[in-house]
């Protein structure tokens, strides 16, 4: 075998008839080509090239979750409370996300199966379909919020909702047209790099480094405001870092990519790199939003109409606003690709249909169809006039937080299943960290849900 | 992506490719169902309680969201 200039193995591919005879499918061949490159890199001890080949699912899950609603949520938090408690809190939530996502990667690499398939096989169809139902529902709401984010970003450049809807759907169609997981992953990774625009935007608003250092070291000043507003921002900040779709996505993508137990070190690095980048860029969005704290942007809802990019451009003269707008377009686009993929994986795994980017369209029509369908439905919603943009974006994250505990508990059960995982099962330290995460997520989500309801029905003032 | 116009790989190359996958990593292996895990009655009850709790809180969030718009 030989490598061409792009690092791909040059191999003549077989006719479909031949593959049928041998029992080796096109998906197997595509994955085996990727694995052959990994094995060759490992044999040559090319550490960096090996890491380059194996990174992907972790970075995509983390940067995919630095999505439109998350960045709007961080910026809203910065605008409402300035630099303080929430800045280091973002770092803490990404530390929780790394613990959870490492489990997903490990389970996917050891079992070679996605989350939905494992739940159905180990715990039955009822739990599998409930998990998939939660995922499809929260994904649809989140996808609407992603299109909202693209719409807000494009509005800065005087482009309308129709362009946002078209852009999102065309991206989904283009990204999955390669018929290979590797190509899909690299296209989305290429787009995800631009999440760094939020950091540039933060640099341009010239934050006070003394305030930044003080916030990171002391978790203060503590937020002041109504209890319900703080709960909303706590829940949406958590929902901006750990969500059900990330769990489905990273496990399924790790299996689709072909990770094995030999790749766990690189898989962990992939997850940590993704978590660190996402935390830095997320903090960037909060810092940029904090520039509005003294410019009449203190109310979370007050910025819904003008949008953050326009408000930011009034602070620094235009560039920070433009970068923030481009960042929102990128964040929405990457999340549309990863979230629609997680929906396709989940439905395919629960129905038993083929669900792999390594399959051509004719062999996995339902997988590709679901990918496009959820994007089209979400795109259609944002074309409805008068949609409450910021409210949808913040509540999408809260809903994900509320539904997360069940998904996480099953993830922990799978990762502790010694029949499945053998010596790769969770250790006590991981279980303790995940237990704390589940408790924090459940308490924040429930507290916001109950408090908001009681306020709404005037049982508390 | 597979095309019908290209020739099949020589058997040796085919074999080498095949060797780069673990047995349970191939499509046929991934479709072999795993056995059901045993859950105690208490564990199943706890899961349903958690599920019910999450559904109630989710309903409260959705109601509040809809009532506010």
B60 lies in some domain: yes
b (16+ CB within 10 A) / e for A126-136 = ebbbbbbebbb
**Cis peptide bond prior to A221, omega within 30° of 0:** yes
Dist. CA A105–CA A247, nearest whole Å? 9
User: Which residue from A54, A108, A61, A123 is spatially nearest to A424, judged by alpha carbons?
Assistant: A108
Contact A123 B61 (CB under 8 A): no
Of the pLDDT bands very low, low, confident and very high (cuts 50, 70, 90), residue A23 is low
- The number of CA neighbours under 13 Å toward the Cβ of A175 is 28
Number of independent structural domains in chain B: 1
Closest in A13, A399, A402 to B2, CB measured: A13
Dist. CA A218–CA A215, nearest whole Å? 5
Average pLDDT over residues A11-40: 68
Q: What is the CA radius of gyration of chain A?
A: 22
- The pLDDT score that the predictor gives to residue A13 is 36
- The pLDDT score that the predictor gives to residue A445 is 80
Angle between helices A197-204 and A264-290 (to 10 degrees): 30
- Would you say residue A233 has pLDDT above 90? no
The structure's pTM equals 0.87
Q: Pick from B3, B6, B36, B61 the residue to mutate for testing the A interface (most A CBs within 10 Å).
A: B61
A218 Cβ neighbours under 8 A, 6+ residues apart: none
Q: How many residues are recorded in chain A?
A: 461
Location of structure tokens 């649809």: A140
For every residue of A382-439, DSSP letters joined together read: HTSTT--HHHHHHHHHHHHHHHHHHHHHHHHHHHT-HHHHGGGSPPHHHHHHHHHHHH
Nearest chain B Cα distance for residue A199, angstroms: 31
- How remote is the C-alpha of B20 from its chain's centroid? 23
Contact B6 A130 (CB under 8 A): no
Location of structure tokens 């990994």: A38
| pLDDT mean across residues, chain A | 86
β-pair partners for A3: A9
Q: In which domain, by residue range, is B48 found?
A: 13-67
| Residue A135 near residue A244 (C-beta atoms within 8 A) | yes
Nearest chain A Cα distance for residue B9, angstroms: 6
pLDDT tens digits along A360-383: 888 889 999 999 999 999 999 888
Dist. CA A63–CA A97, nearest whole Å? 12
Options 1.20.950, 3.30.460, 1.10.1740, 1.20.1740; which CATH number does A56-456 get? 1.20.1740
pLDDT tens digits along A189-227: 999 999 999 999 999 999 999 999 999 999 888 887 777
Ordered by start, the domain boundaries in chain A are 1-54, 56-456
State percent of chain A over pLDDT 90: 54
| Residue A107 near residue B19 (C-beta atoms within 8 A) | no
How far the first Cα of chain A sits from its last, in Å, is 72
Give contacts of A13 with chain B, Cβ < 8 Å: 2-3, 6, 9
Dist. CA A155–CA A253, nearest whole Å? 33
Q: What is the CA radius of gyration of chain B?
A: 25
Of the pLDDT bands very low, low, confident and very high (cuts 50, 70, 90), residue A10 is very low
Backbone angles phi, psi at B26, to 5 degrees: -80, 160
Taking every pair of Cα atoms in chain B, the longest distance, rounded to a whole number of angstroms, is 66
B7 lies in some domain: no
Dist. CA A400–CA A129, nearest whole Å? 17
Eight-class DSSP state of A179? S
Where in A247-356 does DSSP place strands (E)?
Answer: none
Contact A449 B58 (CB under 8 A): yes
| Residue A79 near residue A222 (C-beta atoms within 8 A) | no
Reading the block at residue A342, the tokens are 């997680």
Average pLDDT over residues A411-439: 94
pLDDT tens digits along A318-329: 899 999 999 999
How many other CB atoms sit within 10 Å of the CB of residue B68? 12
B57 lies in some domain: yes
Dist. CA A370–CA A291, nearest whole Å? 40
Neighbour-count burial of A48, counting CB atoms closer than 10 A to its CB (0-12 exposed, 13-18 middle, 19+ buried): exposed
Contact A452 B60 (CB under 8 A): yes
- Would you say residue B8 has pLDDT above 60? no
A48's enclosing H/E stretch is: helix A47-54
> What does each C-alpha distance from A181 to A24, A62, B62, B67 come to in angstroms?
17, 18, 36, 42
Nearest chain A Cα distance for residue B45, angstroms: 13
Dist. CA A292–CA A116, nearest whole Å? 42
Q: Pick from B15, B28, B57 the residue to mutate for testing the A interface (most A CBs within 10 Å).
A: B57
> What does each C-alpha distance from A26 to A23, A39, A77, B3, B15 come to in angstroms?
10, 20, 48, 10, 14
Taking every pair of Cα atoms in chain A, the longest distance, rounded to a whole number of angstroms, is 72
Average pLDDT over residues A129-153: 89
pLDDT tens digits along A237-279: 787 788 889 999 999 999 999 999 999 999 999 999 999 999 9
Dist. CA A348–CA A262, nearest whole Å? 27
Contact A14 B13 (CB under 8 A): no
Sign (positive or negative) of CA dihedral A312, A317, A319, A325: positive
State percent of chain A over pLDDT 70: 91
């Amino acid at each position: 075998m030989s490598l061409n200039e792009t690092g791909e193995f040059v191999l003549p591919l077989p006719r479909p008839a031949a593959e049928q005879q041998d029992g080796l499918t096109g998906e197997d061949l595509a994955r085996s080509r990727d694995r052959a490159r990994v094995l060759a890199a490992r044999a040559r001890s090319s550490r960096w090239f090996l890491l380059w080949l194996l990174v992907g699912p972790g970075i995509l899950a983390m940067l995919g979750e630095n999505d439109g609603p998350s960045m709007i949520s961080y910026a809203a938090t910065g605008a409402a409370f300035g630099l303080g408690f929430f800045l280091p809190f973002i770092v803490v939530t990404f530390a929780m996300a790394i613990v959870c996502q490492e489990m997903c990667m490990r389970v996917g690499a050891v079992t070679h199966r996605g989350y939905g398939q494992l739940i159905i096989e180990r715990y039955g169809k009822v739990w599998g379909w409930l998990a998939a139902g939660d995922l499809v529902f929260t994904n649809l709401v989140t996808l609407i919020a992603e299109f909202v984010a693209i719409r807000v970003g494009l509005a800065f450049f005087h482009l309308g909702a129709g362009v946002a809807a078209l852009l999102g759907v065309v991206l989904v169609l283009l990204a999955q047209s390669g018929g290979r997981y590797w190509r899909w992953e690299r296209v989305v990774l290429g787009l995800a790099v631009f999440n760094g625009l939020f950091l540039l935007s933060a640099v341009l608003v010239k934050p006070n480094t003394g305030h930044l250092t003080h916030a990171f070291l002391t978790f203060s000043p503590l937020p002041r405001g109504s209890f319900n507003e703080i709960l909303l921002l706590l829940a949406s900040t958590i929902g901006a870092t750990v969500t059900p779709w990330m769990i489905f996505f990273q496990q399924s993508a790790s299996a689709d990519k072909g990770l094995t137990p030999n790749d766990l070190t690189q898989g962990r690095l992939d997850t940590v790199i993704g978590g660190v980048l996402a935390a830095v860029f997320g903090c960037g969005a909060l810092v940029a939003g904090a520039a509005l704290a003294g410019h009449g942007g203190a109310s979370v809802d007050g910025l819904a109409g003008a949008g953050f990019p326009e408000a930011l451009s009034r602070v620094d003269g235009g560039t920070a606003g433009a970068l923030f707008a481009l960042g929102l377009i990128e964040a929405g686009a990457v999340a549309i690709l990863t979230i629609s993929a997680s929906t396709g994986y989940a439905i395919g795994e629960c129905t038993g249909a083929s669900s792999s980017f390594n399959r051509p369209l004719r062999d996995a029509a339902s997988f590709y169809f679901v990918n496009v369908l959820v994007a089209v439905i979400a795109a259609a919603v944002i074309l409805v006039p008068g949609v409450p943009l910021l409210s949808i974006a913040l509540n999408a994250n809260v809903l994900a937080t509320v539904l997360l505990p069940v998904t996480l508990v099953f993830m922990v059960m799978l990762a502790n299943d010694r029949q499945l995982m053998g010596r790769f099962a969770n250790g006590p330290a991981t279980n303790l960290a995940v237990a704390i995460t589940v408790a924090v997520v459940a308490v924040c989500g429930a507290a916001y849900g109950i408090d908001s309801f009681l306020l709404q029905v005037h049982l508390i003032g | 992506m597979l095309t019908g116009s290209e020739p099949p790989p020589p058997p040796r190359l085919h074999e080498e490719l095949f060797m780069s996958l673990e047995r349970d990593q191939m499509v046929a292996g991934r479709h072999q169902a795993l056995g059901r895990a045993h859950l105690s009655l208490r564990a199943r009850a706890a899961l349903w309680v958690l599920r019910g709790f999450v559904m109630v809180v989710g309903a409260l969030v959705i109601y509040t969201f809809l009532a506010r718009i």
